[in-house]
Structure 1
Amino acid sequence: MPDLWMPGATRLDIGDHAPTDGGPAKAVAHVTWDRNASAAEPADLVPYETLVTYFGRNPDGKAAAPHLLWDPFTGRLTQFHPADSRSKSLVDRAGGTRTNRAGSVVIQVEALFFPYCRVDGRVYARLRDAPCKGWAALRDWVHAWGVPNVWPMGQPTDFTAHRDESVWERQGGWYAHAHVPENDHTDPGSWPDLADAPAPGRPAYEPFPGSGFFVPGRRSPVIAAMHARLVAVGCGRYRTHTDVDVWGSGDRASYAAWQRKLGYSGDDADGIPGRTSWNKLQVPRV
């Protein structure tokens, strides 16, 4: 199992832990939006320590604390909740989906940012234009918890809402705050890419490891990545989302569902990956 507390992040446990409900693993992208600025009137970025104090020690801030506060200009990270606990950064109305709990994990990340913030004399209109230091390590830790490196409702590119509760309920991956049901925020506006560009000659997806790779008890990050993709394409037949990197009966049932979705039947939909179905699943390189 990955670390409950992200390696390299400052741990500031605020307590008030509570379980999630299970289901497709998710992450939610927020920006802190501490000040309203514009191209004509930019404003200095709020100090990182101010937000750490707010989320970590202020009663109002604790009531809305994410899992992680990330400073994209320095790479600093502070974590307030362990990965397997819900946090409280989303509005959760009575009835309907339990937004903060709707997944095996729902890891929420607040980037220290607002549009037209000024840092060292330079103004940044979009988060993705910032240095985004520490992003790769953060992304990889979230991915290790089974969150697919995909945006089920599309990568955010502006401050408009795109919400679909059925997608939210059924698909794992990264969601903008602007995508989450029952909420009215439209952040983060942009976000760094979820996958590195592949090096020349290096495939973006995991090559087929051979049918003999898929035996009971096999542990591998490739299996965790496959698990996430099967959930993302609507073929998850898992009863639990623990040991996501170990091949077991849930993986076989889920892969059989994928094979049937591709049109296979009988012995060709036995749940053991073959080269053609594997290549079509597009498991991200790990």
Structure 2
Amino acid sequence: MADLWMPGAQKLGIGNTAPTDGGPAKAIAHITWDRNATAAKPAALVPYENLRSYFGSNATGKQSAPHILWDPFTGRVVQFFPANSRSLSLADRPGGTRTNRAGSVVLQIEALFFPYCKVDGKVYPKLTDTPCKGWAELQPWVKSWGVPSSWPMGRPADFTPKRSAATWANTAGWYAHAHVPENDHQDPGSWPAFVGTPGTGTPTYEPFPGASFFMSGSKPALGKRSAIFTAMGKRLVAVGCGRYKVGPGPVLGQADVDSYEAWQRSLGYTGADAKWPPGPTSWAKLRVPNV
């Protein structure tokens, strides 16, 4: 089962949970846009702690809180609602679609960013100009809730709104705030490419192949051959979790299982959660090179 609370994120539940309505699983991309800056007059980024406190403890901020506040400069993430609850970052007019609930999940991600923010003396016109730290961990958690890595209305490239009630009602995937019916916001303006998409300037990692790839029935698929196992094993060695006497790879062996379980324990997983097979969140954190 997917994690209600993103592993590695700070859990800051604010209560006021409510179910979603069902339908295509969605994720909504926002930026906080808490200051207006320009190329001629950039402004300092609002501290992460300010936004965390605003959504997490301010009475007004709680009324517009997302699921996730993500700092693309440091990779810090804080979560205010469990994945199976609606959050509150979308305008929801009377009648029509209940925007915050219109899916099996409607996971809302607020990136700490505004155009022409300044961090350590450098100005960032677009979100995609930032380091986008933490994206490689955030994307697979969203995907684990059934949200496909696709933009039904196009990956945002500017601040032009584009809305289709029919697409919204019928198609799972990622939506910009600028794509959501009943809303007039134009953000986020840009968003990082999905991990594993080549030719985008984003580091390319091996997409999570699914738990069944690593299994033969109810047991590890020992003896299975794949270049993925070699790449995985090299990364496990690099992060100090290698338990190999020979290898790694390309044939899956018990040393791979032992090494990966050591990796999951190093991330804080315990009990059955630390056991083989790999899961999408720990796989994303390992950053296995694309093969």
**TM norm structure 2:** 0.69
1:204 Cα deviation after fit: 7.8
Structure 1 unaligned segments of length 5 or more: list them. Answer: 218-284
Q: In 2, are the aligned partners of 1:198 and 1:204 still within 8 Å (CA)?
A: no
Quote the Cα distance in structure 2 between the aligned partners of 1:189 and 1:119.
Answer: 19
Task: State how far apart, in whole Å, the 2-side matches of 1:51 and 1:6 are.
Answer: 19
Residues 8-50 of structure 1, C-alpha deviations (whole Å, 9 max, x = no match): 0000000000000001100000000010000000000000000
Where do 5+ consecutive residues of structure 2 fail to align? 200-204, 219-289
Q: How does 1:20-169 map to 2 (within 5 A)?
A: 20-169=20-169
**Matched residues in 2 for 1:11 and 1:104: separation?**
22
Q: Which deviations, in whole Å up to 9, do the C-alpha atoms of 1:66-121 show, x marking residues without a partner?
A: 00000000000000000000001000011111100000000000000000000011
DSSP-derived class of the 2:167 partner: helix
Aligned to 1:229: none
Structural RMSD (CA): 2.4
- Identity among equivalent positions (%) equals 66
Alignment partners' CA distance in 2, 1:36 and 1:89: 19
How much has 1:196 moved relative to structure 2?
Answer: 1.7
For the 8 Å contact 1:30–1:111, the answer to whether it is kept is yes
Query: Which residue of 2 is the match for residue 224 of structure 1?
Result: none
| AA aligned opposite 1:66 | P
* Structure 1 position 203, deviation (Å): 9.1
2-structure distance, mates of 1:147, 1:197 = 16
Could you tell me which residue of structure 1 aligns to residue 227 of structure 2?
Answer: none
Q: Superposition pairs for residues 225-244 of structure 1, below 5 Å?
A: none
User: Residue 75 of structure 2 aligns to which amino acid in structure 1?
Assistant: G
Distance 2:207 2:85 in 1: 32
What code does the residue aligned with 1:91 have? Answer: A
Structure 1 counterpart of 2:13: 13
The 8 Å contact of residues 196 and 206 in structure 2, kept in 1 or not, is answered as no
Asked if the contact 1:66/1:80 (under 8 Å) is kept, the reply is: yes
**Residues 149 and 195, structure 1, Cα contact 8 Å, conserved in 2:** no
Write the distance in 1 (CA, Å) between the matches of 2:168 and 2:96: 12
Contact 2:21–2:103 at 8 Å: present in 1 too? yes
- The offset of 1:194, in angstroms, is 1.8
Matched length:
211
Partner secondary structure for residue 52 of structure 1 = helix
Q: Which residue identity does 2:166 align to in structure 1?
A: S
> Runs of 4+ in structure 1 displaced over 4 angstroms?
202-207
How far apart, CA to CA, are the structure 1 residues paired with 2:81 and 2:208? 32
Does structure 1 residue 173 correspond to structure 2 residue 203?
no
Paired position in structure 1 for 2:285: none
Q: How far apart in 2 are the matches of 1:41 and 1:141?
A: 36
| Distance 1:66-1:205 versus aligned 2 partners, 3 A rule | closer
Task: Tell me the distance in 2 between the aligned counterparts of 1:140 and 1:205.
Answer: 8
Q: Distance in 2 between matches of 1:205 and 1:56?
A: 32
CA 1:142–1:203 in 2, change beyond 3 Å: closer, same or farther? closer
The alignment partner of 1:148 has SS state of coil
Q: 2:37·2:116 contact (CA, 8 Å) conserved in 1? A: yes
Change in 2 beyond 3 A, CA 1:38/1:26: same
User: How far apart, in 2, do the equivalents of 1:34 and 1:204 lie?
Assistant: 34
Contact 1:149 1:173 in 2 (8 A): yes
Distance 1:43 1:185, change over 3 A: same
